[in-house]
Amino acid sequence: MQHKPVRVPDLKARKQRGEKIAMLTAYDATMARLLDRAGVDALLVGDSVGMVVLGYENTVRVTLDDILHHTRAVSRGAERALVVADMPFLTYQVSAADAVRNAGRLLQEGGAAAVKLEGGRPVVDVVTRLVEVGIPVMGHLGLQPQSVHQVGGFLRQATRREDADALLADARALEAAGAFAVVLEAVPSEVARAVTAALEIPTIGIGAGPDCDGQILVSSDMLGLFDAFVPPFVRQYAHLADTIVTATEAYVEDVRAGRYPKPAAPAATARMT
Ligand code: KIV
């Protein structure tokens, strides 16, 4: 496994060498440390924090302060993985100046190396400006959860020919604006394959089939920690929710039965008096 820190340009080099990129979300220092130790290439402090940590129904209510708080924690835990901070709803859509200020805080105060934002051609000017001032940008196309109210749910995208063409045009525009990678969420495999072939920058898929240059999952989904619902494309590599409930039941029983803590040994008690 590579031990030197992963930098933004390394991801494109990975694509050129045909090496897949493994990315996960992280929201706190402990999890970041563990995922980093396991060799993940990049950690996204996703606005999914709103759903899997903060208990919201969607990501719309997540604020810059929320992401900043969690980005600080993840940056403290990650040693090797590239830390990417999600830009929450309305932190980049109002103006490019606003976006620079907000993204700058995620790097300067949060310790992230890059930001991610949702959208294609409508956000290209913002991406251009961020890249101009030295802030690396990861794009996000396909299902864009911050638009959940407009779309009407967490629905699969680019299933019609004209939408797939529009997505490809968006991806090309993001690349031309200087984005260093693009997340493709919930799009058909053949659309993800075509976009991946058309771009020099890497595509990172989630529910977008096997042909992207890398994959990302919400760590709480992949680890079986968030069990309110499991997206159909998720593979659960562990069932931590069950493990936690079983362990906690055992603890509760031990406390109630007086088995935890153990009674002090008489000799130790004597020494203390
Ligand atoms: O917020 C998030 O976790 C994301 C990933 C699903 C890509 O944007």
Angstrom distance (rounded) from CA 91 to CA 87: 6
Task: State in Å: Cα 225 to ligand 1 middle.
Answer: 16
HSE at residue 49, side-chain half, CA atoms within 13 A, is 28
In terms of residue numbers, what domain contains 162? 8-257
Q: What is the pLDDT of residue 25?
A: 98
Q: What is the pLDDT of residue 179?
A: 98
Angstrom distance (rounded) from CA 180 to CA 107: 16
49 class by beta-carbon count within 10 Å (0-12 exposed, 13-18 middle, 19+ buried): buried
51 backbone dihedrals φ, ψ, rounded to 5°: -90, -45
Reading the block at residue 127, the tokens are 């991406």
Within a domain: 266: no
Q: Give the CATH number, domain containing residue 162.
A: 3.20.20.60
Within a domain: 265: no
Among 59, 70, 222, which is best to mutate for testing ligand 1, by the most ligand atoms less than 8 A from CB? Answer: 59
Q: What is the pLDDT of residue 229?
A: 87
Q: What is the pLDDT of residue 265?
A: 82
Is any ligand 1 atom within 6 A of the Cβ of residue 47?
Answer: yes
Is any ligand 1 atom within 6 A of the Cβ of residue 48?
Answer: yes
Within a domain: 32: yes
C-alpha distances out from residue 175 to 76, 116, 125, 139, 195, Å = 30, 13, 12, 9, 11
Please identify every stretch of the chain with a pLDDT value under 70, giving residue numbers as ranges.
1-2, 268-273
Within a domain: 65: yes
Q: What is the pLDDT of residue 2?
A: 54
Task: State in Å: Cα 265 to ligand 1 middle.
Answer: 51
Report helix, strand or coil for 160: coil
Is any ligand 1 atom within 6 A of the Cβ of residue 206?
Answer: yes
Within a domain: 270: no
Within a domain: 149: yes
167 and 203 in contact (C-beta within 8 Å)?
no
**How many domains in the chain?**
1
C-alpha distances out from residue 27 to 34, 47, 141, 161, 210, Å = 12, 9, 22, 36, 26
171 and 163 in contact (C-beta within 8 Å)?
no
Which residue's CA is minimally distant from atom 5 of ligand 1? 46
